Amino acid sequence: MSLDFNIEKPDLSMKNEIQEKIDNLNKPKGSLGRLEELAMQICLIQQTLSPKLTAPCHLLFGGDHGIEKEGVSVSPREVTWQQMINFTKGGGGVNMFCRQSGFTLKIVDVGVDYDLTPYPQIINRKIARGTANFLHQEAMTQPQFKKAIEIGKELVDEAVANNSNIISIGEMGIANTSPSSIWMSLFENIPLNECIGAGAGLNSKGVEHKKEILSKALEKFLKEIPNYTTEEAIRYFGGFEMVAAIGAMLRAAEKRVIILVDGFIMSACALAAIKLCPAAKEYMIFCHSGDESGHKMMLEKMGAKPLLNLGLRLGEGTGALCAFPIIDSSVRMINQMNNFENANITKYF
């Protein structure tokens, strides 16, 4: 299947002009560090010297994983649907952070193993009640993969239609660190054991069991499809919520929308999206380095510089939302700080 995305890197022709504006703000050159880098990136994405952040939107995709049945997560499957319902009541971490920074929250069921139709606050895009168990077979079929991609695209198109030019993406899906670890191993050529961590809180015995299960699954995949494509690796192991996130990232990049990347799982989705369309990375801001084993290594391999390191491992997109005020500050800096000439301050460099 060929993915229909036309993603171009931002035009760099105005880079010098942007840098000149940043350097002429009344501050020592380079003294606002990462804020200056963020301002440059956002100006290039929007092709303007006066960027804006409008109608920020948070997409939260939920889905269950067949591999959960192998005991690779300390949390039981029902936590997925219980948390999805909790989000409708405003009681999750994601709800609090969205309220804090004025994000519209979209809760989307793409594959939860529970009937969530009684909750109108949850957008029903259920593909199936969870993926298949990738220890024994591919997690999803090609039509299901395509549908998940299309759901991600649809949600971004809706956000853009509502004037959003910045989105963050989160997930709710017990056991989704397992496919993330395998993608990291496959896409970055890292030994699988180095990519596997405790997830939501496995003890050392649980981590060893997780490594054994995932190693068997990966061995089976490589035997069946030795010359796999990126799409095949995504489809064989991924969750519906993860593939929807990939579709959303690629569509956002195509629409020149800023993408806030959350923790380990969303970084794995970003990695997959970049493998499919390398230019998509230019539109991504990596928001934090989480507590999951392997996340820091994944970010380093991607050449990504996370904004925060707070020991987070909640998921839901909360790390991306935590980073938003910093991104907002970078835009306020370039728009609201005075320059040397107007402030009548001697420019000393």
Give catalytic residue positions: 316
Alpha carbons within 13 A on the beta-carbon side of 158: 15
At a CB cut-off of 8 Å and minimum separation 6, what does 249 contact?
A: 152, 169, 259, 261, 269, 270, 273, 280, 284
Return the sign of the alpha-carbon dihedral for residues 81, 84, 88, 89. positive
The residue whose two tokens read 């790390």 is: 319
CA distance 35 to 45: 15
Q: How far is CA 90 from the centre of its chain?
A: 22
The residue whose two tokens read 């948070």 is: 58
Six token digits for residue 317: 């997109």
CA distance 1 to 20: 45
Other C-beta atoms lying within 10 Å of the C-beta of residue 80: 27
CA distance 244 to 293: 24
DSSP string, 227-279: T--HHHHHHHH--HHHHHHHHHHHHHHHTT-EEEE-SHHHHHHHHHHHHH-GG
Closest CA to 129 of 117, 142, 146: 117
